Amino acid sequence: MTEIAGWLARNSTSIIVWCGALCTFAIYSILYAENKFYRLFEHVYIGLASGYGVYIAWRDVLGPKWWIPMRFGGEWYWIFAAVAGSMFYFMYSQKHVWISRVIFGFFMGVTAGGMFRGFYEVYFPQIGSSMKSLAPGANGWWDTANALVFYVLLFSAMTYFFFSFEHKHPAVAATARAGRWFLMIGFGAIFGATVMGRLTLLIGRLNFLLNDWCLQEVVPDWKSIYFKIIVGLVVVALIGLIVNSIARPKQKNSTSSGTEE
């Protein structure tokens, strides 16, 4: 056991890098087709995330804000928080399910009130900020031009969503049509930013595979014949697992279609 622990300590960095590369290939295998290799690592990831979430909840919330004040700070009244939290588990009892509905209703009301307050604090200042001055500011007439462009965009978008009367008048119809174009441009920019964020994640994974895994782990160890054999067997096993898991659903579909005929 001591030798194994020493070997793990000496090669901890390589083990972490290889695990990261294996997990990356497993998750991205879904781009080809649904397979058991992806499912295995999906469940591993969900399990690790759930366990880490429980740990974070205890370390940052339950421990310092509930258990320590109640156990060592003399704030005994925090025991009622445990009573309220235990009421959620009555949802699994058909006889006493009404107890869970009480606590669910209470928190839904508190959440709705908090969301309304957040809506007021976030959007009402934005409504006030929409009233921009047309007078030249520090940048001269550029501030006036900027305010005019803002008002054109604002009223065009608002006209598109104004359904109190039909857009029959040419001026109203043209303004609503322009508002729709402005909205599509805004949505396109948001979608482009989302895609750019996803590509950033992909580039980060590719950078990890090329620099941290391939150049620092695979290339230096590729001289060893044993390393080549192990890598070859692992690659063949993974390809076989993916192909087998993809072929089975096709066989089931063909069998079921033949049975129906």
Q: Locate the DSSP E strands across 16-106.
A: none
The domain locations on the chain are 21-74, 152-249
Q: Which of 150, 145, 156, 146 is nearest to 182 (CA)?
A: 156
Summary mean pLDDT of the chain: 82
Give 47's pLDDT tier (boundaries 50, 70, 90).
Answer: very high
What mean pLDDT is predicted for residues 108-127?
A: 86
CA 126 to chain centre: 27
Section 201-208 average pLDDT: 89
Mean pLDDT, range 249-260, rounded to an integer: 52
User: What was the pLDDT predicted at 105?
Assistant: 93
Q: Taking a C-beta distance cutoff of 8 angstroms, is the pair 220, 14 a contact?
A: no
**Higher per-residue pLDDT: 219 or 65:** 65
Q: Is the separation of the CB atoms in 250 and 256 below 8 Å?
A: no
pLDDT value at residue 251: 54
User: What's the pLDDT at 252?
Assistant: 54
- The reported pLDDT for the residue numbered 46 is 93
Q: 9-13, 213-217, 228-232: which has the minimum mean pLDDT?
A: 228-232
What phi and psi, each to the nearest 5 degrees, are found at residue 137? -105, -145
| Token output for 137 | 């500011």
What mean pLDDT do residues 22-38 have?
Answer: 83
Give the number of other CB atoms < 10 A from CB of residue 213: 20
For residue 130, the SS3 value is: coil
- Report the pLDDT value the prediction gives residue 194, as an integer from 0 to 100: 92
Confidence of residue 249 (pLDDT cuts 50, 70, 90): low
Q: Which of 22-31, 167-176, 182-191, 219-228 has the lowest mean pLDDT?
A: 219-228
- Alpha carbons 29 and 26: distance in angstroms, whole number: 5
pLDDT of residue 126: 80
Task: Name the pTM for this structure.
Answer: 0.58
Question: What share of the chain has pLDDT > 70, as a percent?
Answer: 86
Average pLDDT, integer, range 11-30? 84
User: Given this model, what pLDDT does residue 219 score?
Assistant: 63
* Residue of 226, 207, 208, 204 lying closest to 17 (CA atoms): 208
E strand residue ranges, the chain: none
What local confidence, expressed as pLDDT, does residue 253 receive? 54
